[in-house]
Amino acid sequence: MNQTLENFLNDVEKKNPNQPEFLQAVSEAAEHIFPYIENNKKYQNQTLLERLVEPERIIIFRVAWTDDAGAIRVNRGYRVQMNSAIGPYKGGLRFHPTVNLSILKFLAFEQVLKNSLTTLALGGAKGGSDFDPKGKSDAEIMRFCQKFMTELAKHIGAQTDIPAGDIGVGNREIGYLFGQYKKLQNNFTGVLTGKDIAYGGSLIRPEATGYGTIYFVEHMLQEQNKSIEAKKICISGSGNVAQYAAEKAIEYGAKVITLSDSSGYIYDQDGIDTEKLNFVKELKNGKRGRIKTYVEEYPNATYHANKAPWREKCEVALPCATENELDASHAKALVKNGCLAIGEGANMPCTKDAVDILQNAKILYGIGKAANAGGVAVSGLEMSQNAMGVSWTAEKVNQELKTIMKKIHEACVGYGTLENGEIDYIKGANIAGFKKVADAMLAQGAV
Ligand code: NDP
Name beta bridge partners: 74: 64
How many whole angstroms from 96 Cα to the centroid of ligand 1? 10
Q: Which helix (H) or strand (E) holds 332?
A: helix 328-336
If pLDDT is split at 50, 70 and 90, which confidence band does 128 have? very high
Q: How far apart are CA 406 and CA 218, in angstroms?
A: 10
pLDDT for 2 beyond 60: no
pLDDT for 87 beyond 80: yes
pLDDT tens readout for residues 166-216: 999 999 999 999 999 999 999 999 999 999 999 999 999 999 999 999 999
pLDDT for 398 beyond 60: yes
pTM score above 0.85: yes
Q: 40 by DSSP, 3-state: which?
A: coil
How many whole angstroms from 167 Cα to the centroid of ligand 1? 5
Q: What is the pLDDT of residue 199?
A: 97
pLDDT tens readout for residues 59-75: 999 999 999 999 999 99
Q: How far apart are CA 278 and CA 134, in angstroms?
A: 22
pLDDT tens readout for residues 269-284: 999 999 999 999 999 9
| Averaged pLDDT of the chain | 97
Q: What is the pLDDT of residue 38?
A: 95
pLDDT tens readout for residues 236-256: 999 999 999 999 999 999 999
Q: Quick check: CB of 103 below 6 Å from ligand 1?
A: no
Q: Quick check: CB of 375 below 6 Å from ligand 1?
A: yes
Q: Quick check: CB of 345 below 6 Å from ligand 1?
A: yes
| Whether residue 41 lies in the annotated active site | no
Q: What is the pLDDT of residue 3?
A: 65
Q: Quick check: CB of 321 below 6 Å from ligand 1?
A: yes
Helix count and strand count (H, E) for the chain: 16, 12
With beta carbons less than 8 A apart as the criterion, state whether 56 and 83 touch. yes
Nearest CA to ligand 1 atom 4: 239
Average pLDDT (123-135) is: 97
Q: 127 by DSSP, 3-state: which?
A: strand
Nearest CA to ligand 1 atom 41: 166
Nearest CA to ligand 1 atom 5: 239
Mutate to test the pocket of ligand 1, among 234, 241, 382 (most ligand atoms within 8 A of CB): 241
**Catalytic residue selected from 90, 105, 126, 255:** 126
How many whole angstroms from 240 Cα to the centroid of ligand 1? 7
Q: How far apart are CA 268 and CA 258, in angstroms?
A: 6
Q: What is the pLDDT of residue 89?
A: 98
Q: How far apart are CA 52 and CA 240, in angstroms?
A: 30
Q: Quick check: CB of 110 below 6 Å from ligand 1?
A: no
pLDDT for 1 beyond 80: no
CA quadruple 369, 395, 237, 257: dihedral sign = negative
Nearest CA to ligand 1 atom 10: 261
How many whole angstroms from 400 Cα to the centroid of ligand 1? 24
Q: Quick check: CB of 212 below 6 Å from ligand 1?
A: no
Nearest Cα neighbor of 310 from 247, 368, 257, 366 is: 257
